[in-house]
Amino acid sequence: MERTLYQWFADSAARYGERVALEVGGERHTYAELDALSRRLAAEIADACGRPPARVGLYAARSVLAYAGYLAVQRLGATAVPLNPAAPDARNRAVAAAAGLELVLADAALRPPILPAATLSLRLDTLDASPRGVPDTLAAGLDDLAYVLFTSGSTGVPKGVPLRHRSVDAYLAHVIPRYELGPGCRLSQTFDLTFDLSVFDMFAAWGSGATLVVPGAYDLLKPVAFVARERLTHWFSVPSVVSVAMRLRRLTPGAMPSLRWSLFCGEPLTLRQAQAWRAAAPGGVLENLYGPTELTISCTEYRLPADLARWPETANGTVPIGLPYPGVEHLVLDGNGRPAAEGELCLRGVQRFPGYTDPEVNAERFVSFDGVVATPAQTDATVAPELWYRTGDRVAWRDGLLVHLGRLDQQVKISGHRVELGEVEAALRGRPGVHEAVVLAVPGEDGELGLEAACTGAGLDPVALVKGVAEVLPGYMVPRSVTLLDELPLNPNGKIDRRATATALHG
């Protein structure tokens, strides 16, 4: 039976009403209570708009309002568009405008969001309001949009990625039984709601009758203590969290005995990270996942063998990304668009998104394939399902498994977040006095990538440039340093030589 996001939750609420659905801020909420809270919020939203809206922004973070609000949007048959309260006002305003939000549900405990004039704001500090004649639910169709997320864009403008209920339904139908989710399971909620992996956290839990456990402000800096204290059975995060625990020397043998499943996604998982985490959770299973936002959360999987002696060896020291999910088709194409053992990964199937909110972006990301060679596809606002999405990820087949080898463009991952270096460079070029800018992803002392920039221009202050970027981009996209150069190194073709620039920065 195919279901929308709200139907996945509603079925669990009907079966497991008295079980705990959510633990957040020291409080526990049963499925019945969370259902009632979402109904009340749905009434507030519809009343503020005068009718059920089509798209609703959610300006809240790690509070009961955030989770009940997400469900409220879904039960109204609307599309959820999470905003990040930690992001600059300019960023959230741009996302709200690009998404065409009718209303933003905002947590009154946070500073008010700065929104386009056409967007209503509903700020709430209590969930005690009673419904006022609003229908219990307004069913969305499987081909309607469940949510829209905005990722970094190479042109300097965030890209809107819409996902349908049908895609998320296929995803949940695969992962819930695979990870043996159900009543009694306790899942981590490590991802911000603007990060697509949060949809797994919420709806893999609520679609199975499990409990979603939300970390406190500092718990992600001490993940091992969080897992042990909350007796988590399922962990899902970016691999960077493992590096944090390794630096703190918290991954002692057997430190996380409750964990049955550990899942990692969002950036490459190294074999060293996997070994360290596995030693601390020896009774569990560890899987590496891969998937761009455009393919609904994750779309390939690789389960590390229980026997360490059977773990794979890869040239780059990363865990393979494995094989695609059922319903996800794949091609590996060389630079000439022909099938190859190594090249760009292209994907299609039920989990593929219908195309960016800005149709002009679609043309460069989709190809058609006649069985011999791939060619640029003709696209419009809704991309035909037979077209293949070009991920930009370089992969290779090794011993029957896909191994991730890096990117074919200037996109990087910072703590699991997609960052187009071009968007950061555009923000720098927008500062007064800057002539040229180049941004590089450079490993720090801990091996984790961070951004560094070089600029040319007149009368520039590096500290002021960093502060200026922080006014328009989220923190993970802000360079940790800016170096001023008289000119940027060029290659023989007259393009910026990034390798030479890195040498100029570090000698």
Find which of 72-81, 85-94, 106-115, 468-477 is predicted with most confidence, using mean pLDDT: 72-81
More confident of the two residues 17 and 444: 17
CB-CB neighbours of 280 under 10 Å: 24
Query: What gap in Å lies between CA 320 and CA 301, rounded to an integer?
Result: 8
Give the whole-angstrom CA distance, residue 499 versus residue 477: 20
Q: Are 99 and 160 in contact (CB under 8 A)?
A: yes
Those residues whose C-beta lies under 8 Å from the C-beta of residue 45, and which sit 6 or more positions away, are 52, 53, 56, 72, 73, 76, 78, 103, 105, 122
Lowest mean pLDDT among 271-285, 338-352, 480-494: 480-494
Look at residue 134 in the predicted model and tell me its pLDDT. Answer: 56
Choose among 393, 404, 419: nearest CA to 268: 404
Mean pLDDT of 337-365: 94
pLDDT of 10 > 50? The answer is yes
Separation CA 361–CA 381 (nearest Å): 10
pLDDT for 133:
57
pLDDT of 142 above 80: yes
Return the higher-pLDDT residue of 409 and 474: 474
pLDDT at 154 > cutoff 70: no
Residue in the block written with tokens 């030693």: 279
Residues 78 and 144: their CA atoms lie apart, in Å, by 9
Query: Per-residue pLDDT averaged across 344-354, rounded?
Result: 98
So what's the architecture of 328-407 in CATH? Roll (2.30)
pLDDT at 430 over 70: yes
Q: Does residue 68 sit in helix, strand or coil? A: helix
* pLDDT band, residue 493 (cuts 50/70/90): low
pLDDT digits (tens, 9 = 90+) for 167-204: 999 999 999 999 999 999 999 999 999 999 999 999 99
pLDDT for position 129:
47
Residues 472-487, mean pLDDT to the nearest whole number: 91
- Confidence band, pLDDT 50/70/90 cuts, at residue 209: very high
The answer to whether the beta carbons of residues 104 and 96 sit under 8 Å apart is yes
Per the listing, tokens 């079925």 go with: 11
Report whether pLDDT(447) > 80: no
* CB 438 within 8 Å of CB 457: no
pLDDT band at 21 (very low <50, low <70, confident <90, very high): very high
* Domain extents in the chain: 1-163, 328-407, 411-506
Model confidence at 206: pLDDT above 90: yes
Nearest of 181, 190, 175 to residue 238 by alpha carbon? 190
pLDDT > 90? residue 117: no
Return d(Cα 369, Cα 377) in angstroms, integer: 9
What is the radius of gyration, based on Cα positions, of the chain?
23
pLDDT band of residue 373 (cuts 50, 70, 90) is very high
Residues near 233 by beta carbon (within 8 Å), at least 6 away in sequence = 184, 185, 186, 187, 258, 259, 260, 261
The CA-atom distances, in angstroms, between 489 and each of 305, 442, 454 are: 47, 17, 10
Check if the beta carbon of residue 239 is closer than 8 Å to that of residue 268.
yes
pLDDT value at 382 more than 80: no
| CATH of region 1-163 | 3.40.50.980
The pLDDT of residue 247 is: 85
**Average pLDDT value for residue range 403-407:** 92
- Helix and strand totals (H; E) in the chain: 12, 26
| Nearest-angstrom CA–CA distance, 83 and 359 | 22
413 pLDDT band (50/70/90 cuts)?
confident
Per the CB < 8 A criterion, the answer to whether 126 and 65 are in contact is no
Asked whether the domain spanning 411-506 has the same topology as the one spanning 328-407, the reply is: no
Determine if residue 325 is left, alpha or beta; phi over 0 gives left, psi from -120 to 50 gives alpha, anything else beta.
beta
The pTM of the full predicted model, rounded to 2 decimals, is 0.89
For residue range 292-321, what is the model confidence (pLDDT) as tens digits?
Answer: 999 999 999 999 999 999 999 998 999 999
Give CA torsion, residues 233, 6, 287, 210, to 10 deg: 10
Q: State the residue for tokens 């500073």.
A: 111
Beta pairing class for 401-407 and 388-398: antiparallel
pLDDT of residue 135: 55
212: β partners: 22, 187
Into which CATH architecture does domain 411-506 fall?
2-Layer Sandwich (3.30)
Amino acid at 183: P
Burial code (b: 16+ CB inside 10 Å, e: under 16) for 125-145 equals: eebeeebeebeebeebebebb
- Backbone φ and ψ for 338, nearest 5 degrees, come out as -110, 150
> Does the pLDDT of residue 254 top 50, yes or no?
yes
Cα distances (Å, whole numbers) of residue 506 to 37, 449, 500: 54, 15, 10
Alpha-carbon gap, residue 308 to 285, rounded angstroms: 12
In this predicted structure, the answer to whether residue 40 has a pLDDT above a threshold of 60 is yes
